[in-house]
Amino acid sequence: MGCVPSSQSKRPKSDNRQMSAEQGSQRQGRPNDKRSNQTPQHPERHDNHEPRQMPHPGKHDNHEPKQTPGQQERFNNREPKQAPHHLGRFDNKGPEPIEEENIDAFENGAQAGATASRGASFESITNICSQPPQVEDMQVIGNENSIFMIEPFKYNPSQPDRAPNPINVGNGYDDRWDENHLHMPCSPKYVDAYSQEEKDRFLRVTLPKMCDLVLTLEAVCPQAPPLLRIGSNRSVTMSQKQAASLLACSFFCLFPNSSNRKQSQDADNYQNPNFDRLYANGPPQKMEKLKCILNYFRRVTEKMPNGVITFQRYMLPSRSYPSWRDSSIDLGDLHLTTSKKIEEVQNTLQADFANKYIGGGVLGSGCVQEEIRFSICPEMLVSLLVCEVMEDNECIFLIGCEQYSSYRGYAHSFQFDGDYKDTTPKDKWGRKWCHLVAMDAIYFQNPSTQYNMKAIDRELIKAYTSFRPLGKGPNYEFGITTGNWGCGAFNGDKQLKAIIQWMAASVAGRPLIYAAFGDKKLIETFYEIYAILKNQRATIAQLYDYLYQYSQQSRQLTLFEYILEKIHENSKL
Rounded distance between C-alpha atoms, residue 22 and residue 14, angstroms: 23
Instruction: Annotate 258-305 with DSSP letters as a single string.
Output: GGGSTTGGGGGGS---SSHHHHSS--HHHHHHHHHHHHHHHHHHHS--
- Is 369 assigned a ligand-binding role in the annotation? yes
Phi-psi region of 279 (alpha: psi -120 to 50; beta: other; left: phi over 0): alpha
Interatomic CA distance for residues 257 and 300, integer angstroms: 27
Give the residue numbers marked as catalytic: 352, 370-371
CA distances from 319 to 42, 271, 315, 427, 459 (A): 36, 30, 12, 32, 17
Contact by Cβ (8 Å): 428, 323:
no
The backbone torsions φ and ψ at residue 487, rounded to the nearest 5 degrees and listed phi first, read -110, 15
Q: Are 367 and 412 in contact (CB under 8 A)?
A: yes
| C-alpha pair distances (Å), 49 with each of 56, 70, 203, 277, 376 | 10, 10, 24, 7, 24
Residue 233 in marked binding region = no
Cβ proximity of 477 and 2 under 8 Å: no
**Closest to 22 measured CA to CA, from 392, 443, 344:** 443
Query: How far is the C-alpha of 385 from the C-alpha of 368, rounded, in Å?
Result: 21
Cα(69)–Cα(374) distance, integer angstroms: 32
156 is in an annotated binding site: no
- Using only the alpha carbons of the chain, give its radius of gyration: 23
Contact 234, 146 (CB under 8 A): yes
**Cα gap 230→227, rounded to integer Å:** 9
Rounded to whole angstroms, the Cα distance separating 75 from 573 reads 63
Residue 568 φ then ψ, to 5°: -70, -40
Nearest CA-CA partner of 55 in 510, 453, 539, 445: 445
Annotated binding site: 355, 369, 410
Annotated binding site for substrate: 355, 369, 410
